[in-house]
Structure 1
Amino acid sequence: MNTDKNANSPTAPLTFDALEERIRVAYCNDNRPWVIGYSGGKDSTCALQMIWRALQALPEPERQKPIYVLSSDTLVETPVIVDYIDEALAKINSSAKSQGMPITAHKVVPDIGDSFWVNLIGRGYPAPSRRFRWCTERLKIDPANAFIKNRVAEFGEVVMVLGVRSAESTTRAQVMALHKLEGSLFSRHSSLLGAFVFTPIEALSVDDVWDYILQTPAPWGADNRQLLKMYRNAQAGECPLVVDKNTESCGNSRFGCWVCTVVTKDKAMEAMVDNGEEWLEPLLDVRDFLAETLDPERKKVVRDFRRRTGRVTLNRSGDGLVPGPYKFEFRQEVLKRLLEAQKEASNLVVDEPAPTLIHEAEIHEIQRIWRRELGDWGNTAYRIVKEELGNDLYAQKADDFEFSSRDGDILRQVCDEHEISLQLLSELLDAERAVQGMRRRTSIHNRIASILEKEWRSEEEVLADLETDTEEGESSKEGLVR
């Protein structure tokens, strides 16, 4: 073991040996378990590899403290990366066990109700943008934090080990410095109580990272030259494990979610296609199709004029209404295109497992939402799956208050005859279903009132009303002037 007394100092020499010694000092400092964020990219690979090698130099009695390698799968990661990470996690678990290392690898995924497609296709959330990036918290932060909180509950405190570097961005360097504990190798986590942060490679440059992982074999048997090849093919950076809102999610050229519309162009996906991964092109087409909906003119076509709350909001400019969720017809189109892309990619893929772009559990949840919120008793999602993939899916009957396709046709006919919104009737019936069998039904009145307070008029009627109110307001002003 290196006995450099200054190895635990922030100003210790930045040789790889000194960094490994600093890791050993940090590891032996207390009994708090470590959770290492692993995204499969170069930085997290470097951090994990350096920690593994550092601990190998410790006598076995001194490396008993558990280390959890945590990887987050958003369920919309680029399939190439998912396969790579799954293989890496399996090797990590196998090698750690055979080498007697206190390391276990775990993968977390978002709850089905929080998944990307359930929110976008099911609830109609618009494609993420810089102004409304609803995906990061649901897909990345919440699943990772749930794992960390469970470890905090078990051990009292934990140390999050992140493969982040100050040189990546000025913002990241400032955030890392802000929470640093004076005289310590650790920082306080910005939001999680009982969690501390250790960043062993924060001072390394990108060249240092590649030098280390290419010159030093991965202890779990991975071939880091395969990782280098992936970077070259994608011309990309990586998405780190995101555990708080201060962590930058992804850059303009990165490994990450293939559906990401926060960036103008997915250069990584485009580069992969250009470098021979033609089966990814259908995925890129879906991503570009969603990105088009961020255009202001396109929003007016594909999005409802009501918010999900049922209310309407006037634009700050006073010109029109703030668009709400995607219309039901457009959500159906997205599901259709997604399944077409899955089928086309499966036909093009060579020597790889066929990609699953949307899971069966997500389709069940989408259909459940469509039935409850939109009155889709004809099971449109299941029909689309049947048409595109030839698979038969059936809803599990939740209770005796379920409508058939025939019931839906009758209700739709009644609504048309009396000029009542089918969605209004659907929500009222769902409110009744929610309190069915209860002894006390006092909450039903509040639920009905809340539903009736929503905006059920047409967009034309709402805009005409707003225009009338504006004209009357102007007339009042003129009267006061006179």
Structure 2
Amino acid sequence: MTSKQNITAPSQNSGLNIAAIRKHICSVYLSDDRPWVIGYSGGKDSTCALQLIWGALQELPAADRQKPVFVLSSDTLVETPIIVNYIDETLAAINAAAVAQDMPISAQKVVPEISDSFWVNLIGRGYPAPSKRFRWCTERLKIDPANAFIKNRVAEYGEVVMVLGVRSSESATRAQVMSLHKIDGTALSRHSTLPGAFVFTPIEAFNVDDVWSFLLQNDSPWGSDNRDLLAMYRNAQAGECPLVVDKQTESCGNSRFGCWVCTVVTKDKAMEAMVENGEEWLEPLLDLRDELAETQDPERKREFRDFRRRDGSVTFVGEAETPIPGPYLFDYRKEILRKLLKAQKLVNENAPPGEKTALIQDEELREIRRLWRSEQGDWGDAVSEIVKETTGRELPIDGSDSYEFQANDADVLSDVCNAHSLPPRLLAQLLEAERSVRGLKRRTLIHRKIANILEQEWRDEADVLDERKERLIQRKQNVSPDPLFESET
């Protein structure tokens, strides 16, 4: 955790030769024709690196400033609203200033694919809140969007240089990672996973005091006030989350700025500090994040999660009588969506001017709706109902057609299934599988889809657990179990 002392502005420069650093940056910039991609998170380190580079390139003749510099920011779609609004305003200012000052710099941000977003995975697919053992979010929300941008630039230019505002003094782990891929005789390192990408770390030797000293003694070239950035850090008592482009780069943790939904840490100290320092309008986000964290309690997991995995299987470990918990139960997912939309409404009703935000996008809601209809047999369209109930507006639906099943179809299906003692969701999935291949000339996929559906566990949990107990008893009595039991254990 970054202490308050560490974010107090130092009274004087620590002795770094800024002129020499700028000269070094210029020499690296001019040494080849690889474009630069600067990772910008909006925090102190990436701001310091970008401002240093901007000042260095301004010293070059205009004819030498031809190589493009892309400023890349990553928005996970679940960032703290204050940070999102700050970064959006800053990126707009960077682009405007670059044009006015004839700089080869352009700023943009990347977001996850909608199918990979946090809420589509958690609410739509039922993924449990991320934990240290199952941190499914980092790759989908941070690494993949940034890497897709970099790969596109590699395809366009052949090779690129990633410029990262990371410091070796930040942690021993980071210092070790930064030294692993150094190219002898150059200022560059090889990227750990991306072919055609190199890494340049211009503030590698800086410490925290160096960073704040530079920011507070040098005006931002795009017109921002770095004292506002210092105030934000003080209010949140936080560090920054770097642009994550590989699995070796440490992601957020402890009291860092980052995703407001993060449950990898025990407490969101940055958000708590913001609320304590006057940002009470963020409290609904903190409450919802804490509720998601409670679902990780080993004693309470069964309250929230299905006994089946997402593929419909049931998995036991060793001699356990209860299975490994699967995705969130469908009813609980509906509850989360309802609470999320209510939190969004409360936040926007109480937010200061200019801080309003969408906690979940309509595109995400539509993707959740699609998943619920195809996987849960939700023909009654619970997503649209919850949106209407909590916000008072209709969810715009794209791509629906006359062949979609409706709520009255669900009632008919339920009656038929009850008469024949069949799970309604089983029949709903079979009918959705058939509907999905409607109009195709080749229907070979339908056989695989039907097989996958029928192979799922459709019995009640009580029946599955009773069978498990019986098999364990047989095993203790040295009765040879059947091959199915062997495969489970």
The 2-side partners of 1:128 and 1:361 are apart by: 22
Deviation at residue 115 of structure 1 after TM alignment: 0.8
Amino acid paired to 1:334: I
Structure 1: state its 5+ residue gaps: 1-12
Q: Following the alignment from structure 2 to structure 1, what is the Cα–Cα distance between the partners of residues 79 and 167? A: 23
Separation in 2, partners of 1:319, 1:169: 43
The one-letter amino acid paired with 2:404 is E
- Please list the CA deviations of residues 349-392 of structure 1 after superposition, one character each: whole Å capped at 9, or x if unmatched: 12234221111111111111111110111111111111111011
3-state SS of paired residue (2:478): helix
Structure 1 Cα separation of the partners of residues 416 and 285 of structure 2: 41
Distance 2:27 2:180 in 1: 23
CA RMSD across the alignment: 1.4
Structure 1 residue aligned with 2:3 = none
Residues 310, 326 of structure 2: 8 Å contact kept: yes
TM-superposed CA distance for 1:434, in Å, is 2.4
Check conservation: 2:308, 2:327, Cα contact below 8 A: yes
Amino acid corresponding to residue 360 of structure 1 in structure 2: D
- Give the CA deviation at 1:394: 4.5
User: Could you tell me how far 1:99 is from its partner in structure 2?
Assistant: 0.4
Q: How many residues align?
A: 466
Q: Shift of residue 396 of structure 1?
A: 3.0
Take 2:243 and 2:319, find their aligned partners in 1: how far apart are those partners?
Answer: 38
Structural mapping, 1:62-77, within 5 Å: 62-77=64-79
Q: Distance in 1 between matches of 2:344 and 2:421?
A: 40
SS of residue paired to 2:134: coil
Rounded Cα–Cα distance in structure 1 between residues aligned with 2:204 and 2:432: 52
Residue 322 of structure 1 corresponds to 324
Identify the match of residue 426 of structure 2 among 424, 427, 432. 424
State the SS of the aligned residue for 2:73.
strand
2:343 is aligned with what amino acid? Answer: A
DSSP 3-state at the match of 1:294? coil
Does residue 104 (structure 1) correspond to residue 109 (structure 2)? The answer is: no
Q: Given that residues 437 and 446 in structure 2 are in contact (C-alpha distance below 8 angstroms), is that contact kept between their aligned partners in structure 1?
A: yes
AA aligned to 1:419 is S
Contact 2:321 2:468 in 1 (8 A): no
Select which of 81, 84, 90 maps to 1:82: 84
Alpha-carbon shift at residue 438 of structure 1 (Å): 2.0
Matched ranges for 1:71-470 at <5 A? 71-316=73-318, 318-470=320-472
Q: CA deviation at 1:400?
A: 4.3
Aligned partners of 1:115 and 1:338: how far apart in 2?
15
Q: Could you list the per-position Cα deviations for residues 455-481 of structure 1 after superposition, in whole angstroms to 9, with x for gaps in the alignment?
A: 111111111111111111121269xxx
Question: Residues of 1 paired with 2:342 and 2:446: CA distance?
Answer: 42
Instruction: Map Cα deviations across residues 46-89 of structure 1 (whole Å, 9 max, x no partner).
Output: 00000000111111111110000000011110000001000100
Q: In structure 2, what residue type is equivalent to 1:246?
A: Q
Equivalent residues of 1:122, 1:331 under 8 A apart: yes
Give the counterpart letter for 1:117 in structure 2.
W
Once residues 311 and 346 of structure 1 are traced to their aligned partners in structure 2, the CA distance between those partners, rounded to angstroms, is 41
One-letter amino acid of the structure 2 residue matched with residue 187 of structure 1: S
- Give the superposition deviation at 1:419: 2.1
Q: Is this contact kept in 1: 2:38–2:162, CA < 8 A?
A: yes
Q: Conserved in 2, the CA contact under 8 Å of 1:237 and 1:251?
A: no
SS class of match (2:48): helix
- Residues of 1 paired with 2:396 and 2:259: CA distance? 29
Please name the residue that 1:4 is paired with: none
Q: Which moved more, 1:456-465 or 1:398-407?
A: 398-407
Question: 1:374, 1:422 within 8 Å by CA — same for their partners in 2?
Answer: no
Structure 1 range deviating more: 195-204 or 410-419 = 410-419
Q: Which amino acid aligns with 1:49?
A: Q
TM-score by length of 2: 0.93
Note the C-alpha offset of 1:427: 1.8
Distance 1:317 1:280, change over 3 A: farther
Q: 1:397 to 1:27 in 2, by over 3 A?
A: closer
2:62 corresponds to: 60
Residue 435 of structure 1: how far off its partner (Å): 2.0
Equivalent residue in structure 2 for 1:22, among 2, 21, 24? 24
Q: CA deviation at 1:182?
A: 1.2
**Which amino acid letter does the alignment assign opposite residue 137 of structure 1?**
E
8 Å Cα contact 1:160/1:195 also seen in 2? yes
Q: Is the 8 A contact 2:253 2:264 kept in 1?
A: no
Q: Deviations over 1:271-322 (max 9, x none)?
A: 0001100000011001001010000122101100111011111134624111
Counterpart amino acid of residue 122 in structure 2: L
Check conservation: 1:375, 1:423, Cα contact below 8 A. yes
**Could you report, residue by residue, the CA deviation over 1:398-455 in whole angstroms, capped at 9, with x for unpaired residues?**
4443101111111122222222222212221222122222222223222211211111
Relative distance call for 1:317 and 1:293 in structure 2 (3 A) is farther
Q: Which amino acid aligns with 1:153?
A: A
Match runs of 1:3-18 below 5 Å: 14-18=16-20
Distance 1:316 1:262, change over 3 A: farther
- Bigger relative contact order, structure 1 or 2, given CA contacts below 8 A and separation 6+? 2
| SS of alignment partner, residue 66 of structure 2 | coil
Q: 2:70 and 2:321 mapped to 1: Cα distance?
A: 53
Q: Percent identity?
A: 64
How far apart in 2 are the matches of 1:275 and 1:95?
32
Letter in 2 for 1:195: A
Question: Is the deviation greater in 440-449 or in 215-224?
Answer: 440-449
**Structure-2 separation of matches of 1:475 and 1:316:** 16
CA distance in 2, matches of 1:99, 1:129: 45
Structure 1 Cα separation of the partners of residues 284 and 240 of structure 2: 22
Look up the SS of the partner of 2:416 in the other structure.
Answer: helix
Letter paired with 2:451: A
Q: The residue matched to 2:477 in structure 1 has which SS?
A: helix
Task: Please tell me whether the aligned partners of residues 321 and 469 of structure 2 are also in contact (alpha carbons under 8 angstroms).
Answer: no
